[in-house]
Structure 1
Amino acid sequence: MDARLRISALLTASTLALTLAGCGEDDTSAEDPTPAGSTSSPTADSTSSDEPDPADPSATGSPDEGGETTVPVYFAGETPQGVRLYREFRRVDGDPFTAAAELLTTGDALDPDYRSLWPGGTFASVEAQDDAIVATLADEAWTERGDLSANGARLAAQQLVYTLQGVAQERLPVRVVDSSGTPAPLFGLEGDLTAAAPLEVLALVSVSGPEEGATVADSFTAAGVASSFEATVPWEVRDSGGKVVVDGFATAEGWMDKLYPWASEVDVSGLEPGTYTFVAMTDDPSGGEGFGPTEDSKTITVE
């Protein structure tokens, strides 16, 4: 076995030990080492990679001149490791915590490949306090697990934790309370909710830009985060029939231990105007013997 395949085998074994494999539409099969509902604080290494991408100037969380705020919202999507979370940056009006939570709970994603694990409902309020982000339940509908599996409930809780911590730009725990301000369970999970390690709940590659439905001309900068073999993030532009018409790769700032930012210039000046799909993926050194590459795709229009 050559060195590349030996490394691939080690990575596959490591991934099997760490990942939450999907068990149905809203499910994952393995236990989280740092499950939602834990009162322990995440380490810096387990969360620092999920700060806004340095290559993405919109990932600031500060209101722009029009009064809108850019917030990260985490939605669920399919990956070779099962259901994982993908980040989508959205511009919202009004209170960013409330707006981001509403996008999450309603599943109002721009990307049709994304969805929410949450059943219908809404929070009465969401606000950052000194020691926690406090989400107040509108009723008791989300206190019990309902139709969610145990692992599906944990991943749904991670949607909320990652989203609200991203808005706050601080790793505060998320505290769910009832209308009287008394701590309440979320989907049966008791206690303050903290972030699980990114490699356990997030997709191994995601695209922050271009956003779904973007219009581009000549060239554009694609960017996102990934944990991919030897920091290589292959990408493709595919036409409406799925044919690869442009391809290349980005080099992320690191790999294996967490998600790292990546960015690449994509030249589409030679393409006819029309609708295309930009796809970023993880490198697959196993040649199809392992899980296969994780992908994130965005529909774009070339002028």
Structure 2
Amino acid sequence: MPPVPHRAVPPSRFCVGEVGTRRRRGAVPDPAPVTEGPEEGEHRVRPRRRVPPRTPRRWSLAALAVVASVALAGCGTAADRPDDNSAAAPGIGAAPGTTDEALGGVATEQAPIYWVGTGDQSGYLFREFRNPEDTSTADPVARAAAMVTRATPMDPDYRTLWSPVSTVGTSVSPDGIITVDLPAAAFGTQLSEKDAQMALQQMVYTVSAAAVTAGLLDASTAKEVRILVDGRTGFSAFGSVDLSDPLTRDTSLAAPVWLIDPQTDADPGSPLTVFLRVLPAVHDVRWEVTQDERTVRSGTVAAASPGSDPTVGTELRTTIDLDPGEYTVRVAGTNDQGTVLVDDHVITVAATR
């Protein structure tokens, strides 16, 4: 089948450098090769831990509650809303500020980046908050979009389906339309229609979260994402999906088992807050913290009530005291097909500062 023809967008529809809610094209340096984490079943080599400690501007671990709490939240909104009690995984409405020594002590906003899972969770999206790789780009939405294509997930169980690019253009309108202009090189890999849809949702989730985190859109505003390729619409993404129409979030891609906080390679102090979300289709859910294969702390997550909305997740937040050292935090549950779904993160609890 011949490629779908695509047309140029009139300049009035996509403004580069316009003042206000419009964002100019953001350029980031040439990308380094992206190395995806190993698939499930392979030997897992953990990436090195980040050296600079995170200094949350609005969230303090010391201020976290000392008791566990269980709450209900909409699917896809766990940690997708402001939450003053979460240090490593705040809501979509506000990301923590960090002071990174490598950036000369300049305060920068962390970017919400969504990744695709692997193994039994390969059909779902997970989010990490990341320090910007390039602070010369003023546009936080363009920075986040570029990181989707070029950054490596901290968790080796996550991956990206995009090819790395160095330039991304974005614009945000007050009515919730987010336009992302990508080079054709970002679609360099031929994907099946299913994987192509997943890759597009990876971008949609990321830029819509970044727009709210940056204060460009309100969290309650309905959001549509228009993806252009070299300034044109109608491109065939990854050789499988036509981009003529705007895209919205597909809530069915929210991870049924998701360890939100702490993130992989975090270096929190003690007490540590464990924050997780599971969907009603998952049962017999347990969480545990282990060190050298020894269980240090563990617990269960109450099952959803019969007849619960399948898109509404149960959140659990509990705070525990841990000695300094390396730990694995894990949450696991069984879905209706009998498959055990797991999300686990390796962290290092820092000595009291």
- Give the structure 1 partner of residue 180 of structure 2: 135
Higher helix fraction (1 or 2): 1
- Asked if 1:279 corresponds to 2:330, the answer is yes
Secondary structure of residue in 1 paired with 2:310 = coil
Deviation at 1:79, TM superposition (A): 4.7
- Give the structure 2 partner of residue 172 of structure 1: 223
Identity of aligned residues (%): 26
**Residue range with higher mean Cα deviation, 80-89 or 226-235:** 226-235
**Aligned 8 A contact 2:76 2:254 in 1:** no
- Give the structure 2 partner of residue 126 of structure 1: 170
- TM-score between both structures, scaled by the size of structure 1: 0.69
Write out aligned runs for 1:126-275 (5 A).
126-131=170-175, 132-138=177-183, 140-142=184-186, 146-169=189-212, 170-180=221-231, 182=233, 184-187=235-238, 188-190=241-243, 191-197=245-251, 200-228=252-280, 233-240=285-292, 242-250=293-301, 257-260=310-313, 262-269=315-322, 271=323, 273-275=324-326
- Asked if 1:61 corresponds to 2:114, the answer is no
**Aligned 8 A contact 2:301 2:316 in 1:** yes
The letter of the residue matching 1:189 is: D
Secondary structure of residue in 1 paired with 2:263 = coil
**Aligned 8 A contact 2:114 2:128 in 1:** yes
Calculate the aligned-residue CA RMSD, in Å. 3.2
Q: Deviations over 1:13-55 (max 9, x none)?
A: xxxxxxxxxxxx7xxxxxxxxxxxxxxxxxxx77556723634
CA distance in 2, matches of 1:285, 1:142: 34
Secondary structure of residue in 1 paired with 2:205 = helix
Deviation at 1:109, TM superposition (A): 1.6
The letter of the residue matching 2:342 is: E
Secondary structure of residue in 1 paired with 2:260 = strand
Write out aligned runs for 1:78-89 (5 A).
78-80=118-120, 82-89=122-129
The letter of the residue matching 1:129 is: S
Deviation at 1:124, TM superposition (A): 2.8
**Aligned 8 A contact 1:250 1:264 in 2:** no
Q: Deviations over 1:207-247 (max 9, x none)?
A: 2211222234442111133214688752111223x332321
**Aligned 8 A contact 1:124 1:137 in 2:** yes
Deviation at 1:183, TM superposition (A): 5.3
Secondary structure of residue in 2 paired with 1:153 = helix
CA distance in 2, matches of 1:204, 1:268: 27
Structure 2: gaps spanning 5 or more residues: 1-38, 40-73, 99-105, 213-220
Deviation at 1:155, TM superposition (A): 0.4
Deviation at 1:120, TM superposition (A): 3.0
Structure 1: gaps spanning 5 or more residues: 1-24, 26-44
CA distance in 1, matches of 2:125, 2:141: 19
- Give the structure 2 partner of residue 296 of structure 1: 343
The letter of the residue matching 1:297 is: D
Work out the number of aligned pairs and report it.
Answer: 249
Write out aligned runs for 1:10-89 (5 A).
51-52=80-81, 54=83, 55-56=85-86, 58-59=90-91, 60-61=93-94, 64=97, 67-80=107-120, 82-89=122-129
- Give the structure 2 partner of residue 112 of structure 1: 156
Deviation at 1:116, TM superposition (A): 0.5
Deviation at 1:296, TM superposition (A): 1.4
